Structure 1
């Protein structure tokens, strides 16, 4: 099968944001390489599914069908489903991947549970079919324990038959896709990002999807992480867990994007709750390692019937270290103080491969400081934009956890937009929480070392003192930079004449 004939480059470009339309060819080639490396029997089945679609099926429908049948593509589709920059017709198809009806026969589910747990009757376990959902690697079916009437209804999360071999195969193919892109950088006109190494990082992270025992550890840790927040619900772990089966509490509700709120304040409150739990909490955490959810698509975020935010599926979780969070805060402080050298030096401390082009990094920092002077205030969106640009143009290489947090943030921004909270400002939420926690930290600062950053804000007393003392210089730096910008604009206009 020549998969490139199925994917029309011009039609694909129309589905992408205008500024990324030139990536249609690399995406087309990547899909073709990925699909062509699958076993022939799998390719034959995919072709049959494509032929079964109507002759006039759109490219979005065909891509959605492909993603439904390939676990790795399904995971990618879930990430992109809420990205407001891509065409609505494609987002509508990809949103179907967030929670799908199960295709796994009941007898297969019962067989797996029998192998893992033994006879269900002997444990007083009663399945409550049908299965309520199917994810990229697992199927979810409700159950109850007849000898524990006080225990709430639970669900079994079970790895799908044959999924271990299939996902491992597709993840290995990702390496080949990365190698192909690396070899075609010039022809495709894409940034030199070392795609094979980046895809290898993603591959290693996605392998965690197959380790349900790891997810059980993440669930327990998430329960502790959110223990003091009564408006957050993490499914409680039950007995009968194994590396292939997780038994946990069933949360009743609906996807946060499917809510029936009519009042703007209700939508705003839900959006703030999602932002606080999924973004602010990991950033402003006092723990040395801050837990965050790596797969926060709408299917994993529930507005529960009792008014809480239910956070499901902890198979993919990451950890932001104290050093990384300190560096991000230092970049923000240096931006506020207009200190480009410190921004560049701090970003270099995050470079894990040591291949960052320092000259290009300084140019990147200068561009983003200029944007700040043009009205793009330094906040989370400014910071992530700077990081994205540094990765793309200066080859700054970030840790896999930091990359996954950036991916999670992108997904969450789309979810927050679709919750329907008009005028929602994520930067404002983050800043308000930052200031609130800074005030709460103040009494403890009297007894801390001047250099200690063992606070949730990752600010030392010395950081605060230096910022305050340098404030008179900031205005001078600002006006000097504005004057230089004016000279550069005048020179450009003069040359254009």
Structure 2
């Protein structure tokens, strides 16, 4: 009971901050029940007088509420299916900036995590150069075995932040459950599930070993990519609360004047950003899900370097195929094929018409294709697509929503570099190559080999499964005059073997029937 009372006090503080920053006053009166409208009038009187738009007011309120609410806002910016495209755009600008904690505390955290004095670990450890809600970054130097010095970035988890997040997220979960109980219309948005997803995401971010692993995996996947790289991890000087990696001597993509002064081709850099993101998503099924300008650098020779891999997205083979075919369908204006892919993937329930869905997609695609390249926006495309999802009862797929939102952010980065950037013409070579590689003759043969391998693996397991079944049956009491256990197993075993053989035959025929 005390916990519930504490959550209610927390909710009261949140309501006060939202009221003072003018967020509550932004709610249209017609959307508020009649009995609650006097409260809206009071909220407008209490709002701080400020000449600020909706986005600025929301960001000010979340920043004032603290780091967990900043993270909540950033998370909701990736879920336009929940908050709407307009509000998601407002939340995109929410910056995760916090005052740096003292150098002495950072050094104490490093020594506690790595078990050695800072002076033995680093030849130099400078003050924090960036600070956010979860961690801050210091510039330092380490001495290699050959005696040379290497510049490193040292990321230190903010002390006490796990407990703070647990407290705030517990309150948010309480509020989410309350909303689901009191507002039936909100249940379809699954607010409690949203909070749990945020909780899992933040818990991963607060263990810097996961980010180190993501950097390592991304480095392996992109080892042969000439235009992209990530910092190398120094595992010896990393732990759960400490991440040491190469220092990036580059230019942030937020600094357009510096990029121009360095003579870097902005148009080509915009291409590199988009094509590498799509390549990672399609080829590797593993992509940086927080690719805003502040997390991207360019080297003097125009190479792209990504940092802050705390949030990563993953796509399975099927999702990658559907993504490629859907994007390629929009590029080639093959709306029928896009509709078919949605039905094949199970995104649209079978009781709907493929033709009707293709018609709705045409209404979206033709509107975009009929405009100048500078006006074509992935954000607008998603906005239009979200409008038709309700008409066709399409369920939300979390991994695809994260991908879609990241695609919008990446397009914005590329467009900031090149105002005439055209996502469709830039994306076409990557998508076409992937389709030819995976859905062409070579891809079908490789897919067949994988499927046959999986089937053979199942066949190899049959003796083990049979032996286990025999042990189970022998453990049971055998009725008098019943046939031996082996005879009883022969019929289902024979059926199983024939079923696998027929499945293999059908798979082969399906692969070569196109």
**Aligned: 1:218 with 2:217:** no
CA distance in 1, matches of 2:342, 2:29: 29
Equivalent of residue 170 in structure 1, options 152, 155, 168 = 168
Q: Please report how far the alpha carbon of residue 262 of structure 1 lies from its aligned counterpart in structure 2 after TM superposition.
A: 4.7
Q: Which has the higher helix share?
A: 2
Q: Residue 423 of structure 1 corresponds to which residue in structure 2?
A: 420
What is the correspondence of 1:89-100 to structure 2 with a 5 Å cutoff? 94=93, 97-98=95-96, 100=97
Equivalent of residue 406 in structure 1, options 404, 407, 423 = 404
CA distance in 1, matches of 2:379, 2:90: 25
**Aligned: 1:140 with 2:137:** yes
Is the alpha carbon distance of 1:370 and 1:464 closer, same or farther for their aligned partners in structure 2, counting shifts above 3 Å? farther
Equivalent of residue 109 in structure 1, options 73, 84, 106 = 106
Q: Residue 43 of structure 2 corresponds to which residue in structure 1?
A: none
Q: Residue 249 of structure 1 corresponds to which residue in structure 2?
A: 246
Q: Please report how far the alpha carbon of residue 270 of structure 1 lies from its aligned counterpart in structure 2 after TM superposition.
A: 1.5
CA distance in 2, matches of 1:384, 1:347: 18
Deviations for 1:328-350, whole angstroms, at most 9, x for unmatched residues? 345567772625873452242x5
CA distance in 2, matches of 1:453, 1:181: 50
Is the alpha carbon distance of 1:399 and 1:358 closer, same or farther for their aligned partners in structure 2, counting shifts above 3 Å? same
**Aligned: 1:300 with 2:314:** no
In structure 1, stretches of 5+ residues that fail to align are 14-20, 33-50, 455-459, 467-497
Is the alpha carbon distance of 1:206 and 1:91 closer, same or farther for their aligned partners in structure 2, counting shifts above 3 Å? closer
Deviations for 1:422-478, whole angstroms, at most 9, x for unmatched residues? 221112111122234556679x83595397498xxxxx9989996xxxxxxxxxxxx
Q: Residue 338 of structure 1 corresponds to which residue in structure 2?
A: 336
Q: Residue 232 of structure 2 corresponds to which residue in structure 1?
A: 236
CA distance in 2, matches of 1:410, 1:76: 19
Equivalent of residue 52 in structure 2, options 58, 66, 73 = 58
Equivalent of residue 5 in structure 1, options 15, 19, 22 = 19
SS in 2 for 1:434: helix
**Aligned: 1:258 with 2:243:** no
**Aligned: 1:327 with 2:326:** no
What is the correspondence of 1:115-130 to structure 2 with a 5 Å cutoff? 115-120=112-117, 123-130=120-127
TM-score with structure 1 setting the length: 0.68
Q: Residue 310 of structure 1 corresponds to which residue in structure 2?
A: 305
CA contact (8 A) 1:153 1:250 kept: yes
TM-score with structure 2 setting the length: 0.66
SS in 2 for 1:252: coil
CA distance in 2, matches of 1:230, 1:379: 28
Q: Please report how far the alpha carbon of residue 108 of structure 1 lies from its aligned counterpart in structure 2 after TM superposition.
A: 0.8
Q: Residue 396 of structure 1 corresponds to which residue in structure 2?
A: 394
SS in 1 for 2:189: coil
Corresponding residue pairs, total: 413
Between 1 and 2, higher relative CO (CA 8 Å, sep ≥ 6) is seen in 1
Equivalent of residue 283 in structure 1, options 281, 293, 308 = 281
Larger Rg: 2
CA distance in 2, matches of 1:119, 1:431: 52
CA distance in 2, matches of 1:315, 1:435: 30
RMSD: 4.6
Q: Residue 72 of structure 1 corresponds to which residue in structure 2?
A: 68
CA contact (8 A) 2:324 2:431 kept: no
Is the alpha carbon distance of 1:66 and 1:372 closer, same or farther for their aligned partners in structure 2, counting shifts above 3 Å? closer
CA contact (8 A) 2:62 2:69 kept: yes
CA distance in 1, matches of 2:161, 2:322: 39
In structure 2, stretches of 5+ residues that fail to align are 1-12, 40-45, 371-375, 451-507
Deviations for 1:4-24, whole angstroms, at most 9, x for unmatched residues? 5325358647xxxxxxx8999
Of the structure 1 ranges 369-378 and 425-434, higher mean CA displacement relative to structure 2 is found in 369-378
Q: Residue 47 of structure 1 corresponds to which residue in structure 2?
A: none
Is the alpha carbon distance of 1:120 and 1:388 closer, same or farther for their aligned partners in structure 2, counting shifts above 3 Å? farther
CA contact (8 A) 1:127 1:143 kept: yes
CA distance in 1, matches of 2:201, 2:264: 37
Of the structure 1 ranges 1-10 and 246-255, higher mean CA displacement relative to structure 2 is found in 1-10
CA distance in 2, matches of 1:220, 1:252: 19
Deviations for 1:394-416, whole angstroms, at most 9, x for unmatched residues? 55334433232223223223323
